[in-house]
Structure 1
Amino acid sequence: MFKKLFSKKEPKTYGPTEPIYPGELFEVAEISDDNGFFGFSNINKSYDNYPNKKYFPWWIQVTLELVDIDDRKMPTESEAQILNELEDEIEKFISEKHKTHFIGRVTQNGFRDIIFYVQEPKFDQEKTNIFFDQVQKKRRVNFTMEKDLEWKNVSGLIK
């Protein structure tokens, strides 16, 4: 009995550690290569080495097609404003039923990817279809969700 009480084993954790949300430290980075590829990422670096990844294993990526672009396939100022408004609407929709971790966005080659992680999918199919049909009227959109326990889908963006 005393062995159990005084053993040096670490206590079991039954859920995510505090803080659930690590804060905000967004870092903007340019993406380019020798072939003319160009883009920007805006990533919340507070998620570097985030200890609760396994508790939020569902990766969500929403890709929006850019309409009004410059010669580098990047959004014009007015397009960026529309994209930011859509991003706010999408984040609000996802956050309605989820503890939502907004990782950031990547804008490149005529598209913007908005990246989130959630605890588990709690989407109502009909409500989700209606919401994204409304987004589709403004911009072509693609919604992707998959289980990513180790957050490998964002390993090039955060540690």
Structure 2
Amino acid sequence: MFKKLFSKKEPKSYGPTEPIYPGELFEVGEITDDNGFFGVSNINKSYDNYPNKKYFPWWIQVTLELVDTDDRKMPTDNEAQVLNELEDKIEKFIKEKHKTHFIGRVTQNGFRDIIFYVDQPRFDQENTNLFFDKVQEQRRVNFNMEKDINWNNIGGLIK
């Protein structure tokens, strides 16, 4: 009995460690290759080595088509404003029913990918369809969600 009381074993952890939200440290990076490909990432590097990945295993990627672009297929200033407003609406929609981690965005080749991780897939199909149908009125959109316990889908963006 006393062995159990005074043992030096750590108690088992049954939930995420604090802080749940590690803060914000966004880093902008350029993506290029030898063929003239160009893109920009804006990633929250506070998620590097994040210890709670397994508690937020659902990867969400929302891809928006750019409408008004420059010669590198990047958004004009007006387009960037529209994209940022849509991004805010999308994030608000996802946060309604989820503990949400906004990882960042990648803009390249006429598209913007917005990346999140959430705790559970709590989407009501009808409400989700209605929401994205309204987004679709402004531009083409694609919504992807899959289980990614180790956050491998963003391995090139964070550690």
- Pick the TM interval, shorter chain: over 0.9
Normalised by the length of structure 2, the TM-score is 0.98
Question: Which residue of the partner structure matches residue 80 of structure 2?
Answer: 80
2:146 maps to 1:149:
no
State the Cα distance separating 1:18 from its structure 2 match.
Answer: 1.0
- Write out per-residue CA displacement over residues 28-53 of structure 1, whole angstroms, 9 at most, x where no aligned residue: 00000101110000000000011110
State the Cα distance separating 1:10 from its structure 2 match.
Answer: 2.0
Amino acid paired to 1:131 = F
The root-mean-square deviation of aligned C-alpha atoms, in Å, is 0.7
State the Cα distance separating 1:11 from its structure 2 match.
Answer: 1.3
Tell me the distance in 1 between the aligned counterparts of 2:158 and 2:15. Answer: 22
Question: Which residue of the partner structure matches residue 131 of structure 1?
Answer: 131
Normalised by the length of structure 1, the TM-score is 0.98
Flag structure 1 segments of 5+ consecutive residues without an equivalent: none
Flag structure 2 segments of 5+ consecutive residues without an equivalent: none
Tell me the distance in 2 between the aligned counterparts of 1:32 and 1:6. Answer: 57
State the Cα distance separating 1:4 from its structure 2 match.
Answer: 2.0
Amino acid paired to 1:124 = D
Question: Which residue of the partner structure matches residue 101 of structure 1?
Answer: 101
State the Cα distance separating 1:118 from its structure 2 match.
Answer: 0.2
Question: Which residue of the partner structure matches residue 91 of structure 1?
Answer: 91
Amino acid paired to 1:62 = V
Structure 1 runs (4+) deviating above 4 angstroms are none
Tell me the distance in 2 between the aligned counterparts of 1:131 and 1:154. Answer: 25
Identity of aligned residues (%): 85
Question: Which residue of the partner structure matches residue 6 of structure 1?
Answer: 6
Q: Report how many residues are paired.
A: 159
Tell me the distance in 2 between the aligned counterparts of 1:9 and 1:157. Answer: 36
Tell me the distance in 2 between the aligned counterparts of 1:153 and 1:100. Answer: 16
- Write out per-residue CA displacement over residues 79-107 of structure 1, whole angstroms, 9 at most, x where no aligned residue: 00000000000000000000100000000
* Paired residues for 1:20-99 under 5 Å: 20-99=20-99
- Write out per-residue CA displacement over residues 10-68 of structure 1, whole angstroms, 9 at most, x where no aligned residue: 21111111111000000000000101110000000000011110000000000000010
